[in-house]
Structure 1
Amino acid sequence: MGVQLVAASAITLLAAGLMLSTYQTLIISAGIAIIAGLMTWTTLPTLYETFLNARLSGVDILKPSRPVIPETMGLPTAIIYLIGLFIFMPFPFMDWFDGSARLIHSEDPSAIGTFPYRKLGEILAAILAIQSMVLLGFADDVLDVRWRYKVWFPAIAGIPLLIFYYTNEGATHVMIPLQLRSYLGDLVDLGSFYYVYMVMVIIFCTHSINILAGINGIEAGQSLVISCSVIINDLLFLYNNSDRASVEAHLFSLYFMLPFAGVTTALLWHNWFPAKVFVGDTFCYFAGMTLAVVFNFIYSCPQLFRLVECPRHRMPRLADDGLLRCSTVTLESKKPMHKLGRVVVQMLHSVGLVKAFKYDDKGRIVECNNFTLLNLVLAHCGPMSERNTTCVVLCLQVMASMFAFFVRYKLIEYVYDKPV
C-alpha cells in the first residue's frame, strides 16, 4: 500500500510539473528515476532465494554470526537502471517527431531544425559503456578475475565513449589557469594524450568504489552522495543560464544521474547495516563508470602498484568486542621493501595518512594500516561499529562534495577569467 501511495503521489506531482515546467524532459527523467527506484526496492527482496540458490552469495565476515546473504545485487539494480534509460531515450527527441511518430528531417530547417544525431550518439555511447561495464562486473563476480586482468575492464568498457568522442572531433585542449598563461598561453592542445587521460580517469573512477568496499552500505552510500552532488551542481547551473550548449551538457548529465540516484537509494535501503544483500563488483563497476571518485584510488596506489606489500583482502577486521579495527600490513613480511616504497610510507606517515603500529631497531616503520580510506578512518577514529564507520565515511564524502562546490563557485574566479 505504501509503494502504491508513493507512486500515485509521484505521478500527480510529475503531471503538475509537466504542465508548469519549461524542462518537461527533465521532469520525465525524474519520474522514471522514482519509478526505477520503487521497482528496485520491491524487486530485490524477491530475488534473495534465486541468488542464494545460484550460489551468488557471500559471507558477512564482519558479523559475529557470519551470515550468508545474496551477492551481486548490483546486477538487477543496473538492469532496472538501463531499462529506465531505454524507456526515457525517445523523450529528448520528441520535438523531431510528428503526430505519426515519423522522424522530421531537415527539409524544412526553419520549422524545426536538423535532428540532433550527435546528441543521440552521446546517449547511445554512454549507455553502451555502462552496459559493457555491468557485463564485465558480473563476470568478475562470477569468475573472481585476478586484479592484473580486471584493472583493464573499465578501459575496455569505455571504448564506445572514446570512439564517439574521436569521430565527432571532440576537443583535446585544456584551459590554462591565469597564473600560467604568460608561459603556456590560454589553451594547450594535448592531442592523443587527452585520450590517454580519459582512459585513466575511467579506470581510476571505476576501481575507486570497488577498492573502498568492505562494510555494509559504503559502496551504495558513497555513490548516492556523489550522484546527489552532481545533480545539485547540474541544477545550479541550469538556473538562470542562457548558454544553450552548456545547458544541454548539464541536462545530459541529469538524464543519467537522476535514475542512478533512484536505483541506488533503493539498493542502499537493502544494503544498509545490517545488510540483507551485497552489491557485488557489478554495482561497483557500474557506479564507477557513471561517477568520478578518485581519492581512495590514489591513496591505494602504493599498494596497488606493489610499492608497499598488498594483501589480497584489505578490509577492516572484526575484534572480539564487536567493533571494527583497521587491518594492518607488515611491510617486509615476504621480501625487502623497495626504497621508493619506504619513502612513500614515511611521507604519508608524516602527514597523518599512515598510522604506524610497529618499528624496527632502526626506527623504521614495519607495520602500518592498509592503504584504504576505511582503514585510515579506523586508524584515527576507531575502533567503531560497522554502522558508525559507514556514517563517518559518508560524512567525509559530503564534506568533500561541499569543498568541491566551494572551489567550483568561489575559488574558480581566481584561477579562470570565465566559467568553465
Structure 2
Amino acid sequence: MTARQRTSPVTKSEKPPTEQKPTIASSEDFHLSPPKLRVIFVISSLLCSLYLYLLCFHYNVDSELKRPILINAGLSLVGFFVTLKLIPVAARYVLRRNMFGFDINKRGTPQGDVKVPESLGIVVGIVFLIVAIIFQFFNFTEDSLWLVEYNAALASICFMILLGFVDDVLDVPWRVKLLLPSFATLPLLMAYAGHTTIVIPKPLVSYLGFEILDLGRIYKLYMALLAVFCTNSINIHAGLNGLEIGQTVVIAAAILIHNVMQIGASVDTELRQAHAFSIYLTQPLMATSLAMLAYNWYPSAVFVGDTYTVFAGMTMAVAGILGHFSETLLIFFLPQVLNFLLSLPQLAGIVKCPRHRLPKFDPATGLLTGTKDGTLVNVYLRIFGRKSEKSLCIHLLVFQALACAFCFLLRHFLAGWYK
C-alpha cells in the first residue's frame, strides 16, 4: 500500500449538478518527470552483476538450459524498454480517469499537492505477461511436460493482476484482500503435478525413522498459504517512494542467484529444470520492475498501486513453489515476516488499526518520525531516529539485501547437516 491519499468520493448528501458530465482531471498540462535511469543503472549493476557472472562464467551450465535462459533475459530486456515507454502513456490515461493520489509523506510541501497518477502497476503486469507468453515460442513444445504448469502459473499471475486492479479501482477492504490470493492460486493448484513431499531434517531422521514425508493435499494447502502471505506481505511493507518495487527487485535478484547456484551444483535433471523454470518467471519480473522503479524512485512520479504489490508477491510465490525452494523464499522474505509479526496486533483488531500506518512527516525539516503503529518502517524510525524518506527507503532496502545474504550464509553452514 503506497503512501498516497485518494480523492474523496462524493457523499450522499452532496448532489451533483443536474445534466452535467462527471469531472475529469485535465491532463493537457501534465508532464511526467523523466525516468531516473542513473539510479536504475546503479541498482541493476549491484544486483545483477553477481548473477550474470555465476551464469556465464562461474558455473558450467548446459547449453540446453543456458540458451533459453539467455533468450528469456533478452526478451526481459526488451520488456524493460517497452515498460519505460508505456508508463508515461498509461499515466496520462489514468489521470484522465481521475485515478491519482497525493503523497502523504510530502503533505505540507508543494510536492504534497501534486496529483500523482496511480495504479501504474498494471503496465508492469501486462508487459510481464506478454514477455512470458512470447517466451513459450522459444522454449516449450506442444508436448512439453512443463507447459501446463507454466500456463497455470501465468493464469494465477494474470488473475492476481486483475484482482489487484479491481482493488485499486474499488478500494476493497483489507480483510477481503487477505482472501483474494487464495482464489488466484486455484489455476496453479489444479494444474500442479510436482512432488508433494518434504525432506525431513537429518537431526530428526533418527527419531522419526524416515527421511521423506509425503504431505499430499496438505502440501497444496501450504502452497496456497504461501501465495497469500507473499502477496499481502509486499502490500503491507510499503508507504515510501520506491520501497514496494525496491524490495521486489532485491528479492528477485536473490532468487536468480539462488536458482543459478542450484543449477550449477545439482546433477538432478528435473531439479535443474525446476530452477530454470523459476528463472523464466523472475527475469521478466525484475526487468519490468526496474523500469517502473525509474519512475517510482524518490520523488515518485507515479504510484504503482496494489496492482503491482499483489502481482509481484504472486509471481515470486509461484517462482518459489515451482522451483521447489519455498523454505529459502521465506528466509528471503525475512523483513516481510518481521513486518507481518509487528503488524499482527493491528491486523487482528487487538490494537486500533488506522487506514494509513505511516510515519509522521515534518514539513519544516523534511524528516519522518516513527509512530506507534506496528510496522517495520515505524519501528526502524523509533530505533534509529528520524530520517528523510529517501534515506529511510535506502536503509530498508539494504536491510532487505542483508536478509537475503543471511539466507545464503545459513544455507552454506547448514548444508550437509540440516538436509
Normalising by structure 2, report the TM-score: 0.77
1:110 maps to which residue? none
1:389 matches 2:413: no
Deviations 1:45-82, CA, capped at 9 Å, x for gaps: 22222111111111111112212100001001110111
1:198 maps to which residue? 223
1:54 maps to which residue? 97
Once residues 217 and 279 of structure 2 are traced to their aligned partners in structure 1, the CA distance between those partners, rounded to angstroms, is: 29
Asked if the contact 1:155–1:199 (Cα under 8 Å) also holds between the matched residues in 2, the reply is: yes
2:236 maps to which residue? 211
Normalising by structure 1, report the TM-score: 0.77
Further displaced range: 295-304 or 380-389: 295-304
Compare relative contact order (CA 8 Å, sep 6+) and give the higher one, 1 or 2. Answer: 2
What is the SS of the residue equivalent to 2:382? helix
1:42 maps to which residue? 85
Q: Within 5 Å, give how 1:146-225 maps onto structure 2.
A: 146-165=173-192, 168=193, 170-184=194-208, 185-225=210-250
Q: 2:283 aligns with which of 258, 273, 284?
A: 258
Q: 2:377 aligns with which of 374, 388, 392?
A: 374
Q: 1:124 aligns with which of 137, 145, 151?
A: 151
What is the SS of the residue equivalent to 1:370? coil
Q: 1:78 aligns with which of 108, 114, 125?
A: 125
Further displaced range: 402-411 or 20-29: 20-29
Asked if the contact 1:176–1:186 (Cα under 8 Å) also holds between the matched residues in 2, the reply is: yes
AA aligned opposite 2:134? I
2:47 maps to which residue? none
Q: 1:28 aligns with which of 41, 53, 71?
A: 71
Once residues 227 and 267 of structure 2 are traced to their aligned partners in structure 1, the CA distance between those partners, rounded to angstroms, is: 31
Deviation for aligned residue 1:307:
2.8
AA aligned opposite 1:143? L
Once residues 345 and 212 of structure 2 are traced to their aligned partners in structure 1, the CA distance between those partners, rounded to angstroms, is: 33
1:90 maps to which residue? 137
Further displaced range: 206-215 or 402-411: 402-411
Asked if the contact 1:209–1:288 (Cα under 8 Å) also holds between the matched residues in 2, the reply is: yes
| Higher-Rg member (1/2) | 1
Deviation for aligned residue 1:299:
3.1
Once residues 413 and 78 of structure 2 are traced to their aligned partners in structure 1, the CA distance between those partners, rounded to angstroms, is: 36
Asked if the contact 1:72–1:280 (Cα under 8 Å) also holds between the matched residues in 2, the reply is: yes
AA aligned opposite 2:373? N
What is the SS of the residue equivalent to 1:402? helix
Deviation for aligned residue 1:31:
0.3
AA aligned opposite 1:53? R
AA aligned opposite 1:56? M
Once residues 238 and 404 of structure 1 are traced to their aligned partners in structure 2, the CA distance between those partners, rounded to angstroms, is: 18
Deviations 1:377-396, CA, capped at 9 Å, x for gaps: 11112210000010000000
Deviation for aligned residue 1:218:
0.1
What is the SS of the residue equivalent to 2:104? coil
Deviation for aligned residue 1:220:
0.4
Aligned-residue CA RMSD in angstroms?
2.1
Query: Identity over the aligned pairs, expressed in percent?
Result: 39
Unaligned 5+ segments in structure 1 are: 7-12, 97-102, 104-114, 328-368
Once residues 129 and 259 of structure 1 are traced to their aligned partners in structure 2, the CA distance between those partners, rounded to angstroms, is: 16
1:318 maps to which residue? 361
AA aligned opposite 1:135? L
Once residues 266 and 203 of structure 2 are traced to their aligned partners in structure 1, the CA distance between those partners, rounded to angstroms, is: 27
Deviations 1:308-337, CA, capped at 9 Å, x for gaps: 32222112221242101112xxxxxxxxxx
Asked if the contact 1:204–1:297 (Cα under 8 Å) also holds between the matched residues in 2, the reply is: no
Residue-pair matches, total: 338
Deviation for aligned residue 1:412:
2.7
Asked if the contact 1:207–1:297 (Cα under 8 Å) also holds between the matched residues in 2, the reply is: no
Unaligned 5+ segments in structure 2 are: 1-34, 42-51, 57-61, 318-332
What is the SS of the residue equivalent to 1:59? strand
Q: 1:269 aligns with which of 294, 297, 301?
A: 294
AA aligned opposite 1:245? E
